[in-house]
């Protein structure tokens, strides 16, 4: 497969995963906000921004709906859902002949629907801010479309090398997003010893965390609706079967990297295998107690650093290699 194609498939997939993650975070928080006093709004939305990796061009200005509008529609920001969809679609356009017609239809229809003129109009200054109904409808639409796209991807595209690169993009994005989400919620899970909490509110927050990773129902099946920080951490980090857990993401990533290595034969992939294997090992063979004993934030940051290293190594091996190196091997 062409290196350029691998590059585009990878990013198409990453951007869509990121769009879906952003969408879900906004949806969950808009919903939970209704049950809360407005005083805690700032904390909540700052945390959302932190979980999204603190996008440079989006700032909390005191109005949740304005923030949601920016994160949804502002094409000046590369982290808005609209920008992410446009970039994903642009990448898919570059590899139009590599993906299935069904995939293209799904993504292109989403693109056409969200770029419809008028949808993203910002409210006139002085009038009431955006209709509360509209973002939810938009968010639901995006989430459903991305899920459909992923379904169509799995059922209509050959599970060859291209599909594996899509998997790699999806899971590397998901792994670092989940790590970042857990980091943002660290203070809420363990308390920072300063903020006074209202009794019962932490339950809402923890549920919010789980739902931000679509994990609430799956968690309940394993541990019942009894939420504790240790179990939440254990579930989101180490659960073997839940598709949004870190362990699951890294397992899938590793599996796809192995398949790519097998298909593309010639390339010496030892450094990549070492990196991914080390991360996989640490997630497969640690208990939650060991992690709790150490510095949780540092642990989560290391995971994010490792994800970045894996990304760089993939690029050195498959996409950005030098001609000399390729001719020599």
Partner 1 sequence: MLSNQAQTFERNTLKNYLLDHAYDEMFEGPDQLHGHYEPLLNHFASLPEGELSRRKAAADLSFLNQGITFTVYGREDGKEQIFPYDLLPRIITQAEWNKVERGLTQRIMALNLFLRDIYNEGRILADGVVPREVVYSCKHFRRQMVGLQVPRNVYVAICGTDLIRMQDGEFVVLEDNLRVPSGVSYMLTNRRVMKRIFPQLFRSYNVKPIEQYTQLLLGTLRSLAPEGRPEPNIVLLSPGVFNSAYFEHAYLARQMGIELVEGRDLVTHDNVIYMRTTSGLRRVDVIYRRVDDDFIDPLSFRGDSILGVSGLFNAYRAGNVTLANAFGTGVADDKALYAYVPDIIKYYLSEEPILQNVKTYLLTDPKSRQHVLQNLDKLVVKAVGESGGYGMLIGPHSTKAEQAEFAEKIKADPRNYIAQPTISFSRAPCLIGDGLEPRHVDLRPYVLYGDKVSVVPGGLTRVALKRGSLVVNSSQGGGSKDTWVLSE
Beta carbon of residue 245, minimum distance to partner 1 (angstroms, whole number): 28
Nearest CB to partner 1, comparing residues 82 and 291: 82
Biggest CA-to-CA distance, the chain = 66
Beta carbon of residue 164, minimum distance to partner 1 (angstroms, whole number): 10
How many other CB atoms are there within 10 angstroms of residue 269's CB atom? 20
Nearest CB to partner 1, comparing residues 20 and 161: 161
Beta carbon of residue 101, minimum distance to partner 1 (angstroms, whole number): 7
Give dist(CA 98, CA 162) in Å, integer.
8
Nearest CB to partner 1, comparing residues 56 and 266: 266
Beta carbon of residue 105, minimum distance to partner 1 (angstroms, whole number): 6
Nearest CB to partner 1, comparing residues 113 and 204: 113
Beta carbon of residue 131, minimum distance to partner 1 (angstroms, whole number): 22
Query: By the criterion CB under 8 A, which residues form the site for partner 1?
Result: 1-4, 6, 75, 86, 90, 93-94, 96-97, 101, 104-105, 108-109, 111-112, 115, 117, 161, 260, 263-267, 318-319, 321, 323, 326-327, 329
CA distances, 274 to each of 48, 169, 171, 264, 318 (Å): 33, 19, 18, 18, 16
How many other CB atoms are there within 10 angstroms of residue 43's CB atom? 13
The dihedral region occupied by 268, where left means phi > 0, alpha psi between -120 and 50, and beta the remainder, is beta
Give dist(CA 114, CA 112) in Å, integer.
6
Nearest CB to partner 1, comparing residues 105 and 197: 105
């Amino acid at each position: 497969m062409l290196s350029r194609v691998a590059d585009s498939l990878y990013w198409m997939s990453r951007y869509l995963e990121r769009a879906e993650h952003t969408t879900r975070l906004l949806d969950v928080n808009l919903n939970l906000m209704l049950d809360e006093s407005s005083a805690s709004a700032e904390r909540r939305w700052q945390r959302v921004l932190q979980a999204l990796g603190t996008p440079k061009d989006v700032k909390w200005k005191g109005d949740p709906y304005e923030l949601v509008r920016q994160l949804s529609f502002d094409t000046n920001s590369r982290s808005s859902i609209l920008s992410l969809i446009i970039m994903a679609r642009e990448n898919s356009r570059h590899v139009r002949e590599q993906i299935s017609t069904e995939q293209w239809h799904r993504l292109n229809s989403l693109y056409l629907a969200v770029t419809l003129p008028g949808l993203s109009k910002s409210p006139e200054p002085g009038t009431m801010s955006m209709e509360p109904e509209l973002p939810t409808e938009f968010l639901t639409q995006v989430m459903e479309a991305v899920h459909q796209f992923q379904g169509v991807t799995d059922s209509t595209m050959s599970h060859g090398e291209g599909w594996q690169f899509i998997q790699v993009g999806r899971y590397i994005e998901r792994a670092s997003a989940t790590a970042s989400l857990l980091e943002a919620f660290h203070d809420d899970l363990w308390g920072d010893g300063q903020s006074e909490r209202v009794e019962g509110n932490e339950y809402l927050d923890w549920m919010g965390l789980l739902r931000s990773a679509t994990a609430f129902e799956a968690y309940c099946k394993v541990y019942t609706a009894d939420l504790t920080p240790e179990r939440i951490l254990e579930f989101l980090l180490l659960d073997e079967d839940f598709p949004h857990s870190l362990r699951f993401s890294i397992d899938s990533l590793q599996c796809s990297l192995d398949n790519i290595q097998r298909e593309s034969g010639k390339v010496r992939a030892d450094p990549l295998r070492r990196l991914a294997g080390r991360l996989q090992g640490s997630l497969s063979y640690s208990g939650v107690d060991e992690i709790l004993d150490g510095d949780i934030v540092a642990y989560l940051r290391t995971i994010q650093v490792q994800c970045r290293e894996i990304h760089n190594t993939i690029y050195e091996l498959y996409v950005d290699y030098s001609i000399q190196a390729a001719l020599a091997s």
